[in-house]
């Protein structure tokens, strides 16, 4: 497979260009056609169809629960909406770790027919051969270091990483190894700002942070977090720009109330028919 961007997009090189110009990169997750349209119309630079869909749209308590077919279906819906900026597909837990052949086959499912411009996978060290195999097969890879949600097995596992020297050095070494393996960009999640800043200065590729401070080359947030579409507490690195869940509950409540009190539907929300046509309907039935 050649390194051709999905039709209509310039692919991940646009991110390298943004880093070179010092323009912050804006990445947002999307999981379906409406969220893809919002991301595209709002002018983000790149869309990630994250395996966070397992939690945000499928109701699981871990990202590990989403299947390949489920994530591919969501990715297709996003791609129908996002045609002129790159889309990155997240390789789900259990679909790439075991062997290079499996990693390449799974990555191909995301890249076939221009569905995605790149794939993302979590981890370094044991995953470096997988990263190299996918890149050797002609498909761009985004690496992911720091907090690795697919390695979290309980809710208290979502903690900042790299807060002691050993871990911080390891995360930076992991990022360097992924960049040297040929990753086109890196996501760094939930690490102290100073560590992310040092990491960003030590690799040549764009580094996109989530909970990693302001010195990375870009930022990514989860769509549902940014728009307040989830329930309950959000991580400290989330800034909510809307209260989508609360506002939608309120809207549905008002509609239900209007139905129950006869205020919905009104005349303007109703189709009409000419009186003589209706008379004929009656006549024929009688
Ligand atoms: O799945 C996802 O949404 C992600 C982001 C948190 C980067 O990997």
pLDDT category of residue 176 using cuts at 50, 70 and 90: very high
Residues 42 and 130 in one domain: yes
- Count of CA atoms in the C-beta half-sphere (13 A) of 102: 12
Q: What percent of the chain has pLDDT over 90?
A: 92
Task: Write out pLDDT tens, residues 22-72.
Answer: 999 999 999 999 999 999 999 999 999 999 999 999 999 999 999 999 999
Which of 2-11, 85-94, 197-206, 241-250 shows the lowest per-residue confidence on average (mean pLDDT)?
A: 2-11
Tell me whether residue 121 is in a domain: yes
- Asked if residue 90 has its Cβ within 6 Å of ligand 1, the reply is yes
Alpha-helix residue ranges (DSSP H) falling in the chain = 13-21, 33-42, 53-56, 68-81, 100-111, 128-136, 165-181, 193-202, 223-226, 244-260, 275-285
pLDDT at position 11: 85
pLDDT at position 75: 98
Res. 5: pLDDT tops 90 = no
* Chain-centroid distance, C-alpha 101: 25
Residues 170 and 35 in one domain: yes
Residues 235 and 272 in one domain: no
pLDDT at position 264: 98
Tell me whether residue 61 is in a domain: yes
Structure tokens at 40: 């595209």
- What CATH number did the domain enclosing 153 receive? 3.20.20.60
Q: What is the mean pLDDT of residues 224-248?
A: 95
Residues 46 and 164 in one domain: yes
pLDDT at position 7: 54
Tell me whether residue 2 is in a domain: no
List CB contacts of 193: < 8 A, sequence separation 6 or more: 212, 213, 214, 215
Answer whether 130's CB lies under 8 Å from 97's CB.
Answer: yes
Distance 147 CA to ligand 1 centre (A): 10
Res. 3: pLDDT tops 70 = no
Tell me whether residue 1 is in a domain: no
Q: What is the mean pLDDT of residues 1-9?
A: 51
Residue with tokens 């110009």: 21
Is the bond preceding 265 in cis, omega lying within 30 degrees of 0? yes
Pairing mode, strands 207-210 and 46-49 = unpaired
Give residue 281's domain range: 256-285
Collapsed DSSP state (helix, strand, coil) of residue 218: strand
Residues 133 and 208 in one domain: yes
* Chain-centroid distance, C-alpha 29: 3
- Asked if residue 220 has its Cβ within 6 Å of ligand 1, the reply is yes
pLDDT at position 4: 38
Res. 205: pLDDT tops 90 = yes
How many structural domains are present in the chain? 2
pLDDT category of residue 6 using cuts at 50, 70 and 90: low
Answer whether 47's CB lies under 8 Å from 29's CB.
Answer: yes
Is 97 tagged catalytic? no
Residues 183/225/85/151 CA torsion (nearest 10 deg): 20
Task: Write out pLDDT tens, residues 84-93.
Answer: 999 999 999 9
Task: Write out pLDDT tens, residues 101-151.
Answer: 999 999 999 999 999 999 999 999 999 999 999 999 999 999 999 999 999
Structure tokens at 122: 């979590």
pTM beyond 0.85: yes
Residues 269 and 138 in one domain: no
User: What residues does 232 pair with on adjacent strands?
Assistant: none
Helix axes 128-136, 100-111, angle to 10 degrees: 50
Distance 274 CA to ligand 1 centre (A): 55
Residues 146 and 270 in one domain: no
Distance 50 CA to ligand 1 centre (A): 5
Res. 2: pLDDT tops 60 = no
Terminal C-alpha separation, the chain: 69
CA-proximal residue: ligand 1, atom 3 (nearest): 50
pLDDT at position 216: 98
Q: What is the mean pLDDT of residues 154-181?
A: 95
Tell me whether residue 3 is in a domain: no
List CB contacts of 238: < 8 A, sequence separation 6 or more: 221, 222, 225, 226
Closest CA to 93 of 56, 50, 136: 50
Q: What percent of the chain has pLDDT over 70?
A: 98
- Asked if residue 121 has its Cβ within 6 Å of ligand 1, the reply is no
Residues 262 and 228 in one domain: no
Tell me whether residue 273 is in a domain: yes
Pocket test for ligand 1, best of 50, 55, 186, 237 (most atoms within 8 A of CB): 50
Residues 165 and 231 in one domain: yes
């Amino acid at each position: 497979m050649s390194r051709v961007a999905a039709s209509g997009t310039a692919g991940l090189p646009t991110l390298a260009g943004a880093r070179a110009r010092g323009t912050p990169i804006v990445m947002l997750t999307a999981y379906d056609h409406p969220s893809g349209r919002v991301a595209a119309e709002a002018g983000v630079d790149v869309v990630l169809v994250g395996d966070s869909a397992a939690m945000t749209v499928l109701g699981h308590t871990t990202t590990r629960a989403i299947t390949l077919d489920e994530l591919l279906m969501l990715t297709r819906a996003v791609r129908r909406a996002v045609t002129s900026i790159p889309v990155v597909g997240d390789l789900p837990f259990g679909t790439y770790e075991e062997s290079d052949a499996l990693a390449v086959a799974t990555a191909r499912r995301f890249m076939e027919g221009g569905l995605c411009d790149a794939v993302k996978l979590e981890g370094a060290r044991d995953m470096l051969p997988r990263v190299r195999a996918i890149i050797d097969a002609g498909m761009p890879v985004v690496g992911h270091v720091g907090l690795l949600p697919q390695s979290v097995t309980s809710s208290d596992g979502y903690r900042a990483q790299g807060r002691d020297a050993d871990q911080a050095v390891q995360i930076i070494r992991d990022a360097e190894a992924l960049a040297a393996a040929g990753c086109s960009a890196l996501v760094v999640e939930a690490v102290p700002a100073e560590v992310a800043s040092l990491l960003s200065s030590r690799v040549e590729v764009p580094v996109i942070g989530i909970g990693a401070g302001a010195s990375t080359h870009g930022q990514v947030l989860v769509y549902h977090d940014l728009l307040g579409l989830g329930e309950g507490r959000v991580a400290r690195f989330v800034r909510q720009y809307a209260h989508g869940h609360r506002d939608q509950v309120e809207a549905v409540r008002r509609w239900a109330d209007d139905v129950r009190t006869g205020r919905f539907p009104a005349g303007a929300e109703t189709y009409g028919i000419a009186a003589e046509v209706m008379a004929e309907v009656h006549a024929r039935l009688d």
